[in-house]
Structure 1
């Protein structure tokens, strides 16, 4: 990739640089205790999403707001969610995570779910926050599936289509087809199997209730052995796509990188086992509004570093630094950004 990018300052501890070790480590580490208030946000189509406001919530109506979108089958309890929300709160921000439909405490009402390109609910949320907190600065982050969704939304709405000052994208599978294929090979099939079990569990319940308009029975569901097969049989028909390939093509945010107008930080690891190592070599060059930081190691939403005598999440530290850069919104975007390097410098 000849276009400029930035070298992330993440360094894994000695002996812990393996991509799978980095990916799995966060699940083994203690995460911050974080109470929450849950708010139901009604959607225009009669369904709902759950907003999880981390507590304690600041009383300052002008306090900036950090919005987080989780990954596939993630939640408020995901390790990265706790760490990122806690990091934002530590800086005095209001911190809220939106559960995608069906990912919260209650199943959603309609015979549909959520997907990587489903931007409408997030758009509705930003309108809700703009009406409720019109003067508060707002920055959003999306992790994995949530990152692809957020980047697609930002591209769709342009620089002034959202009440949003900036976006942060973490470990996002911006080429959905290539990522699905990568997850079906080698050790990465362990992650695919884990995700499939979680997805099938929800669909199984709705199939048993006769709540899904799919030509699929429980035996057919059990035989789906890949995310691509699942997306072809479930995700695509439920959400108006003509099969998995049509879904991947229309929902992938990668082709829109050159159209981003909103200040956007993208964090990615070259060894992410959820996507090909050549991911950004096969995507358009990012626009000038994008800062792309690539680390040699880090796995998928891993980025665990040795700091202050123990393992700590670099993502939380990097997020805090990014949010702090918004402390003086009068500074031009380029002045808040570091040195651009070319891939040949790495």
Structure 2
């Protein structure tokens, strides 16, 4: 692994709990990792520790095999060859784009510096804008300049701290895709912090879900969504609800009894990271895409709320038992709030967690 974080802990004076608590993960060269979680979960503190801006209280950080941070010693930030892109871009308003981008490579000969500035501006799609000033650019263009400036010195690792949070939603998602393409073309290893799941899914090869200083799971987006390791990950990623279920083993067959009927011969059963042998009372994770609208189904549910999303509605439904579930329904099925509709489960990955 190019970046290795092993049992990393970071503490702030006066706080009883560590801000980062025994976190371990690895990032391969050329990959993009994303840290996601609610505010105050420790993701930015972890990023700052990797940058060398926070002291390591326990564990260590290795970059290309070298220990750059541990309780025994810290490599200074300026010698780690790490680039950073901040939330507020931190562009110099009095400098034009060319001089902003070239700021970190002023030691190079002028011709080489000019060529490198042109190269990274071309990479981020801003060729020919060297003479513009930041105030003449859109928010998305300013973010690209900040990215170009960070890439110009050819860092070993690029750190991005919520770089799209000041942009509107549509631009954020588009820019996330574009930044991923840019980083892959530059063959840059990057670690990215965000609180936005769609950004994380769009940009990350591996995504870490953090809560209260701990890393709950480090995996690709598909695994986080379909095989969450903890109840927190299951609840935090995607739309879903928990409903009571009874799990039993019938001669090697896993059978899950739910308010929607029995789910038998469960091929992909994840017992909340506890293996496949958990039986008894559980909570079943039901995603909105696990529920299919079917007028012929024997189970009926009443529409409590609906959210129009263009190609589909997100329906919030209440069963006769009082249980609430979510369902994605094609938008031509435009039912009214209060109506009862037929639903059935269609679950490829059954995820349960022991009750309590």
TM-score range, shorter chain: under 0.3
Instruction: Determine which structure has the larger helix proportion and give its number.
Output: 1
**TM-score, normalised with respect to structure 1:** 0.27
Q: TM-score, normalised by structure 2?
A: 0.26
Instruction: State which structure, 1 or 2, has the greater radius of gyration over its C-alpha atoms.
Output: 2
In terms of fraction of residues, the more strand-rich structure is 2
